[in-house]
Structure 1
Amino acid sequence: MQTLVQTFMERRGDLLTALWQHLGISMASLVIAMMLAIPLAIWAARRPKWAEGLLQLTSVLQTIPSLALLGLLIPLVGIGTVPAVIALVIYALLPIFQNTYLGISEIDASIEEAADAFGMSRMRKLFKVELPIAMPQIISGIRTALVLIIGTATLAALIGAGGLGTFIMLGIDRNNTPLLLIGAISSALLAILLSALVRWFQTAKPKRALTVFGVILVLLAGGGAYSAYANRVETVTIAGKLGSEPEILINMYKDLIEANDSHVKVTLKPNFGKTTFLFSALQHDQIDIYPEFTGSVLETLVKGTNPKGMTAKQTYALAKQRLAKQEQMTLLKPMKYNNTYALAVTKQFKQQHHLKTIGDLTRIEGVLKPGMTLEFIDRNDGMKGLKKAYHLNTTAKSMEPALRYQAINDGRVNLVDAYSTDSELRQYNLALLTDNQHFFPTYQGAPLMKADFAKRHPQIVRALNRLAGQISETDMQEMNYDVNVKKQSAATVAHRYLVQHGLLKGAK
């Protein structure tokens, strides 16, 4: 409990920002869903055949897995708030449409006949008779949709839309239970509070309800307007993938850029998502820079056959060339360390089975219980290609990055994928198996940006190139350990390294 309170106090500013983002996304999605579903349900109430089809359609839409839906939307509308809101609206349609339709279509026929007998027009009957009678059921649908939206909106953090999901994802990635609890509890409390508010709207006097609703909309709109005003000058947006290492790197980028030019405003978006999410965001100008790896560029982001056995220099040169030609992007000079993929086992397991290389695993396939990230399992430079290169016949369970380390520590799996700079290798006393076939390509980190951005900002290029050839694998693993295990902030760790190695002056 003490750790939870301490984490809350340290992160209360970030929590307030995430809460505001979550609220904005949720309320925007709810209002749009209501504007679509309620009029459509009113129209369908007198057209049973159409109503059945629309109910089936909204039901099918709600069965689409949220991550799959976000993946489908990214190529169309990019990364950030827009795809998150679209996905949430789609999920909210069914409960609102269904309850509104049932509420109106199930009104007693005698009441409808009485309204007609009084000579009411269709619109007058709708607002004076049908909607008041159906209102409790409509409100129930709105409350259900709202709770669903708030819960699902946590996934918006995966595509850079922010919100309380940032705390949850960060808690999972860093095995930090307080962060996970803060995100989950805040989301639950927000759902309870807003559900109660919707319930109050049902019983409150119309004028008072409209006043409160108007105040909420003004606050949300005012927050958006202030944000636009505050960001009226050009800003540089730097994003990072999930994990401590990308967050450390983007903080280094920020410090170097701002130290080089005090007039530049840098905005950071840590834990933005996976490789393809960030690349899409860069393509759509939603971010300006993010740290990428040379091997990931060749294996995932550009087209072309990759020669085997390339040196680090050859890998970087080919990645830079293809990015410039195919995507009009620039990959700046890489850092020293090679954050390559690797396979890890416990030191006890390694000694027990006399393992040294990945090739030795073929001798003990019957006892292997691999647990690996889904990205590694599906990559050609991951498990797919590894099984062919080493003639391995084993199937891995897919796990979130942080969970696979917990699983091997608990003995639930005995083989995991790893990055050579992961702090968990030291934390859980794991050993890496030698890649004796030299299967894994070189993964040197470097800032990635659009070519026209680099051309317009030569001072930023100069500042970031100061990291070229810096940071060893030991340095990076130690910094990851400071963040993940010692719970130091990524900003502090990044700044300390820059000062200690003469890349930056002054204390922070």
Structure 2
Amino acid sequence: MQALINTFMERRGDLYQALGQHITISLVSLLIAMFIAIPLAIWVVKYKRLAEVLLQVTSVLQTIPSLALLGLLIPLVGIGTTPAIIALVVYALLPIFQNTYIGISEIDPSLEEAADAFGMSRMRKLFKVELPIAMPVIISGVRTALVLIIGTATLAALIGAGGLGSFILLGIDRNNVSLILLGAISSALLAIIFSTLIRLSQRAKPRQLLIGFIILLVGFAGYGVYHKVNAPKDTIVIAGKLGSEPDVLINMYKDLIEQNEPRVKVALKPNFGKTSFLFSALKNEDVDIYPEFSGTVLESLVKVPKAQVGQKRTPQQTYQLAKKLLKQQDDLTYLKPMAYNNTYTLAVKKQFAQKNDLKTITDLTKIQSSVTAGFDLEFIDRNDGYRGLQKTYGLNVKVKSMEPKLRYSAINNQDVNLVDGYSTDSELRQYNLVTLKDNKHLFPVYQGAPLINKKVADKYPRIKASLNQLAGRITEKQMSEMNYEVNVKKESPAKVAKTYLKAQHLWKEAK
């Protein structure tokens, strides 16, 4: 409990900002869903067949996995709050539409006849009779939708929209229970508070509710326009994938750019999410720079000519081919790489390795029937991952898919006895794991380098010079140590990044 309180005190500023983002995304999504679903349900009350079709459509939409929906939206509308709001509106339509339709269609026919007998117009009957009677059922649907929205909105952090999900993702990544609880408890409290407020709104009249919702919508729209108009013009957005290593690197990028380009403001989007999300965001110009690995470029992001597929390459050849194909296919600028090779590796507990005499990946094939692996989804699906292990080594083991950081907890708790990882992961040292030699050289070279939107590279030529100061620097040992300081010693990535730059004489203290 004390750890949770300490975490809150340290990060309350970030928490308040995340709360604001979460509330904005949730309420805007709810209001849009209501303005779509409620009028639509009122209109189709007299068309039962059409109503049944729409109920089926909204039901199907709600079954689409949220990550899949976000992935589909990113190429169309980019990253940030827009795809998050669209996805949340999709999920909120069913309960609001369904409850509105049921609430009005099940009104006692005698009441409808009485309203007609008094000569009420369609709109007068709607506001004076139907909506007041159906209001408790409609409000119940709105409450259900809001709770669903607030819970699902935590995934918005994966696409740079912020919110309380950033605390949950960061907590999982850093194995910090306090951060996870801070995000989860805040989200739960938010749902309870707003659910209660909506329940109390049942006492209001339909016209009062409508006016209130319009005021809220206009307010949020005005807030968004204000921030867009007053946003700094020269802002470079640097994003990073999940993990301490990208977090450290993007902080280095920020320090180097702002030091050499004082007129430029840098905004960071750490723990952004999957490689495909980030690459799409860069191509759509939603982010300007992010660190990417040469091996990942060739394996996942570009189309390698058939004649060159499967070739063994030196680190320099891998980088040059990645740079060339990124330029040709996506018109992106790939700067010079750092020294370390953060390649894939397979790891086991030291005791397990000694017991089974494991030194190489080939040695695993002798005991594969007793191996249970914890691999992340990206590794399972990659040709230089588990697919490659099956083809190159003939390795077929029982596999459990899990998030990258969870696999280390799983092997430490003996839920699995083999995990994939990266050679600079701090958990290898933290959990006393042994890495197995890739004796058939399956895993390609993975050298990290800044990947930049061409427009930004052309507009700010000094940025390239700033970031190229890291070229040929940062050894595997240094990167592993920096990851250890962030994940285990709980140092901030910004502090670790600046400490390294100072040690390498790349940071000049202000006089």
TM-score range, shorter chain: over 0.9
Distance between the aligned counterparts of 1:218 and 1:20, measured in 2? 17
Amino acid aligned to 2:354: Q
Distance in structure 2 (CA, Å) of the matches to 1:91 and 1:97:
11
Deviation of 1:353 (Å): 0.7
Cα RMSD for the two superposed structures: 1.6
1:254-293 aligned within 5 A: 254-293=254-293
**What is aligned with 1:427?**
430
Does residue 16 (structure 1) correspond to residue 33 (structure 2)? The answer is no
Amino acid at match of 1:149: I
Q: Give secondary structure in 2 for the equivalent of 1:462.
A: helix
The 5-angstrom pairing of residues 10-159 of structure 1 reads 10-159=10-159
Partner SS, residue 437 of structure 2: coil
Contact 2:75–2:284, Cα closer than 8 Å, also in 1:
no
Q: Does 1:353 align with 2:362?
A: no
Q: What displacement does 1:344 show? A: 0.4
Whole-Å Cα distance in 2 between the matches of residues 6 and 66 of structure 1? 33
After superposition, the Cα gap between the structure-2 partners of 1:192 and 1:408, relative to the gap in structure 1 and judged at 3 Å, is same
8 Å Cα contact 2:234-2:263 kept in structure 1: no
Following the alignment from structure 1 to structure 2, what is the Cα–Cα distance between the partners of residues 209 and 61? 27
1: distance between equivalents of 2:20 and 2:222? Answer: 12
In 1, the alpha carbon distance for the partners of 2:205 and 2:456 equals 54
Aligned partners of 2:275 and 2:364: how far apart in 1? 29
Secondary structure of 1:20's aligned partner = helix
Match of residue 325, structure 1, among 309, 328, 343: 328
Residues 1:271 and 1:328: Cα distance change in structure 2 (over 3 Å): same
Q: Deviations over 1:305-352 (max 9, x none)?
A: 434320000000000000000000011000000000000011111111
Q: Which moves more between the two structures, 299-308 or 381-390?
A: 299-308
> Which SS does the other structure have where 1:446 is aligned?
strand
Does the CA contact (< 8 Å) of 1:235 and 1:265 recur in 2? yes
State how far apart, in whole Å, the 2-side matches of 1:483 and 1:218 are.
42
CA apart distance, 1:260: 0.5
CA distance in 1, matches of 2:220, 2:491: 33
Letter of the 1:491 counterpart: A
Cα shift at 1:132: 1.0
Cα offset, 1:162, TM superposition? 1.1
Give the share of equivalent positions with the same residue, in percent: 67
C-alpha distance in 1 between matches for 2:127 and 2:217: 24
Counterpart position of 1:418: 421
Structure 1 residue runs without a partner (length 5+)? none
- Please state whether the residue corresponding to 1:502 is helix, strand or coil: coil
CA shift at 1:204, angstroms?
4.1
Q: Deviations along 1:405-430, whole A, 9 cap, x unmatched? A: 01111111110001000000000000
Work out whether residues 238 and 250 of structure 2, in 8 Å CA contact, stay in contact via their aligned partners in 1: yes
Instruction: State the match for 2:369 in structure 1.
Output: 366
Whole-angstrom CA distance in 1 between matches of 2:341 and 2:510: 29
For residues 448-487 of structure 1, the aligned pairs below 5 Å read: 448-487=451-490
Q: CA deviation at 1:209?
A: 5.9
One-letter amino acid of the structure 1 residue matched with residue 286 of structure 2: Q
Deviations 1:138-176 (A, max 9, x none): 111001000000000111111111111111111111110
Q: How does 1:139-288 map to 2 (within 5 A)?
A: 139-204=139-204, 216-217=216-217, 220-288=220-288
Q: Please give the alpha-carbon distance, in whole angstroms, between the structure 2 residues aligned to 1:395 and 1:346.
A: 17
Say whether the 8 Å CA contact 2:302–2:325 is kept in structure 1: yes
Amino acid at match of 1:162: G
Which sits farther off after the overlay, 68-77 or 121-130?
A: 68-77
| 1:229 CA displacement | 3.8
Between 1:144-153 and 1:497-506, the stretch displaced more is 497-506
Deviations 1:283-310 (A, max 9, x none): 1110000000000000000001434320
Matched-pair contact (CA < 8 Å) for 1:345–1:432: yes
Q: TM-score scaled to structure 2, two decimals?
A: 0.96
The residue aligned with 2:342 is 339
Aligned length: 508
- Provide TM-score, normalisation by structure 1: 0.97
Could you say what secondary structure the match of 1:435 adopts?
A: coil
Unaligned segments of structure 2, at least 5 residues: none
SS at match of 1:259: helix
Q: Which one-letter code corresponds to 2:316 in the other structure?
A: K
Measure how far apart 1:4 and its partner are: 0.9
For 1:22 and 1:284, how far apart are their aligned partners in 2?
24
Q: Does structure 1 conserve the Cα–Cα contact (< 8 Å) formed by 2:376 and 2:403?
A: yes
**CA–CA distance in 1 between the matches of 2:107 and 2:22?**
37
